[in-house]
Amino acid sequence: DTEVTQTPKHLVMGMTNKKSLKCEQHMGHRAMYWYKQKAKKPPELMFVYSYEKLSINESVPSRFSPECPNSSLLNLHLHALQPEDSALYLCASSQEYSGSEAFFGQGTRLTVV
C-alpha cells in the first residue's frame, strides 16, 4: 500500500470555526509532513514530524496546530483561520532522510470564508 490518504478532500469553514485535517499512511514511514500550496505556487513546508515528534515548524502561525497520534496518522487542527489561509493542504510521508522519495496525499482544498 503506497497511498497517503487525506480527508476531507474539500473543506469550507468560517473564521470562527474549528476543524481538523487528517492524513494516514501505512508504508511504515517515520517522517510525515504538512505542506501548504497556494494557486500557481510550489508547495511550502509547514511542519515535519519524525518518529511521531515535531521536528520542524516553519514559523507557522499558532492557528495551525499539528498532531501525530501515532506513526500512521497526522492531523492538522485549524482554528480562527483567515481568508488568506485558503489553499491546498498536502500531507506527505517518507523515510526519514530528505533524499527519500516522498509520497503525497491528494490534498484538502480549504476555503476560509
Partner 1 sequence: SQQGEEDPQALSIQEGENATMNCSYKTSINNLQWYRQNSGRGLVHLILIRSNEREKHSGRLRVTLDTSKKSSSLLITASRAADTASYFCATPLGYQKVTFGTGTKLQVIP
Q: Which residues bind partner 1 (CB under 8 A)?
A: 4, 6, 31, 41-43, 45, 48, 50, 55-56, 88, 90, 92, 96-99, 101-107, 109
Nearest CA to 18 among 61, 64, 73?
64
Place of cell 497556494: 38
In angstroms, give the least distance from the CB of 86 to partner 1. Answer: 13
- 42 vs 83, beta carbon nearer partner 1: 42
- Could you identify the residue written with the cell 474539500? 10
Q: Taking the complex as a whole, how short is the minimal distance between the CB of residue 18 and partner 1, in angstroms? A: 25
CB 24 within 8 A of CB 5: yes
Choice between 60 and 80, CB closer to partner 1: 60
Closest CA to 69 of 80, 82, 54: 54
Q: Which is nearer to partner 1, 18 or 96 (CB)?
A: 96
Helix count and strand count (H, E) for the chain: 0, 11
Shortest gap between Cβ of 111 and partner 1 (angstroms)? 13
Residue number with CB closer to partner 1 (22 or 79) = 22
CB of 61: closest distance to partner 1 in angstroms? 18
Burial class (CB in 10 A: 0-12, 13-18, 19+), 67: middle
